[in-house]
Structure 1
Amino acid sequence: MKPLSARPTSREVMEDAPVIPVIVLNDVAHAVPLARALVAGGIRMLEVTLRTPVALACIEAIAKDVPDAVVGAGTVRSAADAQAAALAGARFAVSPGYTRAVGKACHDLELALLPGVATGSEIMMAQEDGYTALKFFPALQAGGTAMLKAWHGPFNDVRFCPTGGITAQNAREFLALPNVACVGGSWISPADALASGDWARVTRLAAEAAALPRG
């Protein structure tokens, strides 16, 4: 893996590996062993979604105890979310949509942001604010690979991370596109593996994801 600066850019976050795991944690005790298992498999950009009451504590634990991981916060919907994530030790943020308030907060915090977009207008607004590494969400429901192919003409300077409905089975189809830098998916950290502490399975899934080819 390439060395990273203390504050990676949005492009560095997206281009580090073919897959960014979308992680939902309900138990702080799972955070560190999960992160270590993912890093052991070659995946170090870890999106911990702010969907559970323990998410910030999980981000803090990973930031403190797994130095080889680059932990980020997902489901960032407000400036307050961005501030809390940064205080917990997050080094990047992922949002399900885009607002200028979230964009400004992340810029001021020097927190790399992957803003969520689903329309051409949202892409243009994010670009106006300096963002060209974007999350396409929800990818399957918003048009999938056909939409990304259509966007490649007018937005050929933008790179995307499709998230939402991406699986081990369809990831290759998305990664083959020239405007896709990586995909986001939850299959690398399945809930049943977390519940049973099957970290070897997580490492195997991460290694398979890290080996996926990109276009």
Structure 2
Amino acid sequence: MSHSIEHKQQQLATTMQLAPVIPVVIIDDARLAVPMARALVAGGIPAIEITLRTPAALDAIRAVANEVEGAIVGVGTVLNGNDLDAALAAGARFAVSPGISPRLLDAADQHELPLLPGIATAGEAMSLLERGYRHLKFFPAVPAGGAKLLSAWASPLPQIRFCPTGGISLGSAPDFLALPNVACVGGSWLTPADKLASRDWAGIELLAREAVALKA
């Protein structure tokens, strides 16, 4: 294994502890990425996940990586090794997947980009624990069982720290963040489409500040 899973897990642990929320960003116009990321960083949110759901995503990651001081930009919706390669080339510092597949995990083993893999069941969590993963994304968090399910896993799977993502809002985030096995949450509410479209950077900075205050 060319890149130690343990080293990558430590990198993920650090990233997940930077702020209570990792914004999950869907961006259609790469030109908006830099001012958006600067607003998030100014509000106290340095780790930013830009999802590969739009053609602008890789350009947006590249721009943030090159131009936004203090930002730790990650890539979301990673499905295969090619996605990992493209994201690393663009300057991403971590990767997030919606689920797991044997091929993706094999590619991640050989890759320097730390992967935060998505899981929805205890069995998936156990199989990743066997491979050395202690930091997992719980997705889709609310439809898959929410804070109650994560709370139930805390006792039998105490080694794992989760970033629940999917259906979480400012109002429901505290229920997750109060759990001993939750390091942070992922949320799309910090960069809503209307604020991106209207270039409301002050509004996004305010949403970031509200998110940081969740663990104050």
TM-score bucket of the superposed structures, by smaller chain = over 0.9
Separation in 1 of the partners of 2:41 and 2:102? 33
Q: Report what 1:212 is aligned to.
A: 214
Q: TM-score, normalised by structure 1?
A: 0.93
Q: Is the partner of 1:109 in helix, strand or coil? A: coil
What does 1:12-161 correspond to in 2, within 5 Å? 12-161=14-163
Deviation string 1:32-86 (CA, Å, 9 cap, x unpaired) is: 0000000000001000000001100100111111131000000001111111111
| Structure 2 residue 174 is the aligned partner of structure 1 residue 172 | yes
Q: Report what 1:200 is aligned to.
A: 202
Relative to structure 1, the CA distance from residue 16 to residue 107 in structure 2 (aligned partners, 3 Å threshold; closer, same or farther) is farther
Separation in 2 of the partners of 1:125 and 1:84? 27
The amino acid of 2:193's aligned partner reads: A
Q: Once superposed, what is the RMSD of the aligned Cα atoms?
A: 1.6
Separation in 2 of the partners of 1:91 and 1:167? 25
The amino acid of 1:168's aligned partner reads: L
Is the Cα contact below 8 Å between 1:73 and 1:94 reproduced in 2? yes
User: Between Structure 1 and Structure 2, how many residues are aligned?
Assistant: 209
Separation in 2 of the partners of 1:133 and 1:100? 18
Q: Report what 2:189 is aligned to.
A: 187
Separation in 1 of the partners of 2:144 and 2:35? 34
The gaps in structure 1 that reach 5 residues or longer are none
The amino acid of 1:97's aligned partner reads: G
Q: Is the partner of 1:141 in helix, strand or coil? A: helix
Is the Cα contact below 8 Å between 1:86 and 1:109 reproduced in 2? no
Deviation at 1:120, TM superposition (A): 1.0
Separation in 1 of the partners of 2:65 and 2:44? 17
Deviation string 1:3-26 (CA, Å, 9 cap, x unpaired) is: xx9x97111121111000000000
Separation in 2 of the partners of 1:24 and 1:149? 29
Q: Report what 2:4 is aligned to.
A: none
Separation in 2 of the partners of 1:103 and 1:9? 17
Q: Is the partner of 1:140 in helix, strand or coil? A: helix
Is the Cα contact below 8 Å between 1:118 and 1:137 reproduced in 2? yes
Is the Cα contact below 8 Å between 1:48 and 1:72 reproduced in 2? yes
The gaps in structure 2 that reach 5 residues or longer are 1-6
Deviation at 1:125, TM superposition (A): 1.4
Deviation at 1:102, TM superposition (A): 2.1
Deviation string 1:140-196 (CA, Å, 9 cap, x unpaired) is: 111001100111111011000000000011001110011100000011111111000
Is the Cα contact below 8 Å between 1:163 and 1:183 reproduced in 2? yes
Is the Cα contact below 8 Å between 1:8 and 1:91 reproduced in 2? no
Q: Is the partner of 2:19 in helix, strand or coil? A: coil
Separation in 1 of the partners of 2:92 and 2:10? 11
